[in-house]
Structure 1
């Protein structure tokens, strides 16, 4: 089987903890989008506990010098994202966007899957 390339991957997944500074440091996911230090980005809550990040020349936010993605405190509060929470990252390189699923949404999703498996009963 030939090696994979980010140019042929439709979604690049990652999971990481939000660090002490409210940043996400997951280089493989961010690099799949081609976002280098200084790349201007928009970050917006789009669903409960879900963020959408896109590159935007007019944005006031940017990828940090160390390549990490900063999530400002007001945005973290809006989606109940805390320092130390785990997030699921889904980068769509062909669409130049990143979806961040916060821990609370992921917990709800997994609980729903568990309920489907258990038929609504705890095992």
Structure 2
């Protein structure tokens, strides 16, 4: 999935799995560089847009270094009403770590 030019993520199937419809109030929390946690929160400062997309405010994108055009992994946790967004820099590091673990485990 890509972050579009407005900072939106248009993955309705994931948001649908969470039962988040336009107007659903959410809270967006930066966990660490490249990782966001979004939770359903009736008192949340943000909401799912009228077109059903999730918009990540520019200030939050800057804080976690998530840029327009970056690829992200979306992980929905319907039982916790939570969405985790992992940016491509974190994903690259995870893949590198797994590859090193595999390569280090091979017998020569």
Under a length normalisation based on structure 1, what TM-score does the superposition of the two structures give? Answer: 0.82
Choose which of 27, 37, 41 in structure 2 pairs with 1:42.
Answer: 27
Whose helix proportion is higher, 1 or 2?
2
| Cα distance in structure 2, aligned partners of 1:103 and 1:78 | 15
Choose which of 40, 52, 73 in structure 2 pairs with 1:55.
Answer: 40
Q: Name structure 1 gaps, 5 residues minimum.
A: 1-15
Under a length normalisation based on structure 2, what TM-score does the superposition of the two structures give? Answer: 0.92
2:102 match: 117
What is the DSSP-based 3-state SS (H/G/I as helix, E as strand, rest coil) of the residue aligned with 2:36? Answer: strand
| Cα distance in structure 2, aligned partners of 1:80 and 1:110 | 19
What is the DSSP-based 3-state SS (H/G/I as helix, E as strand, rest coil) of the residue aligned with 2:73? Answer: strand
Which runs of 4 or more aligned residues in structure 1 lie more than 4 Å from their structure 2 counterparts after TM superposition? none
Q: How many residues align?
A: 105
2:14 match: 29
| Cα distance in structure 2, aligned partners of 1:61 and 1:27 | 17
CA positional deviation for 1:48: 2.8
2:51 match: 66
1:104 match: 89
Q: Name structure 2 gaps, 5 residues minimum.
A: none
RMSD after superposition: 1.2
| Cα distance in structure 2, aligned partners of 1:77 and 1:95 | 26
